[in-house]
Amino acid sequence: MGKNVLGVFNYDEEAVIAVQQLKSDGYPIDEISFVINHDGFKDTLEKRTGAAVDIINQEETIFQKIKNIFSNDPYTNNFEEKLAGLGLPENKAINYASELEAGKILMLAGSDYQLDARGEKTLAESETFGHDKTPHS
């Protein structure tokens, strides 16, 4: 099942408030997860929201290092690959890799779940909430 980004946050408290809002609206917590690039927010997010937290980082595996030696592109953004591996469509993984690289918190949900500009559940493409109000394509 694919994933969508519901929100991008600078701080764990912002993410906790967003999850509390979603829970009060009846959004199933088992559909929400977070992605971060360090473990600084992991405990807070897990304990205060009940959502799963994935930590991904820019470290390359041995296979990736060998692949990069033979590639024409000397730099491969592993955040893009890892986000795609978590279920984000490739175009969204590319867009959100820079947010993750900057240390921000990504809130994900199954592809059937999205929010409209008012925070209402919808199946239509919509804006994320959090500090970043710019829709990503």
Rounded distance, CA 97 to CA 101, Å?
A: 6
pLDDT value of residue 56: 87
- Comparison of pLDDT for 69 and 12, the residue scoring more: 12
pLDDT value of residue 133: 41
Mean pLDDT along residues 50-70:
73
Are 100 and 79 contacting, i.e. CB atoms less than 8 angstroms apart?
yes
pLDDT value of residue 12: 93
Are 8 and 127 contacting, i.e. CB atoms less than 8 angstroms apart?
no
pLDDT value of residue 65: 63
- Comparison of pLDDT for 61 and 109, the residue scoring more: 109
Rounded distance, CA 19 to CA 14, Å?
A: 9
Q: Which residues of 61-96 are buried (b: 16+ CB within 10 A; e: fewer)?
A: eeeeeeeeeeeeeeeebbbbebbbeebbeeebbbbb
- Comparison of pLDDT for 93 and 136, the residue scoring more: 93
pLDDT value of residue 64: 61
Tens-place pLDDT, residues 63-121 = 666 666 666 554 455 888 889 988 898 889 998 999 998 999 999 987 665 555 444 55
User: Cβ–Cβ contacts within 10 Å for residue 118, how many?
Assistant: 8
pLDDT-above-70 percentage for the chain: 65
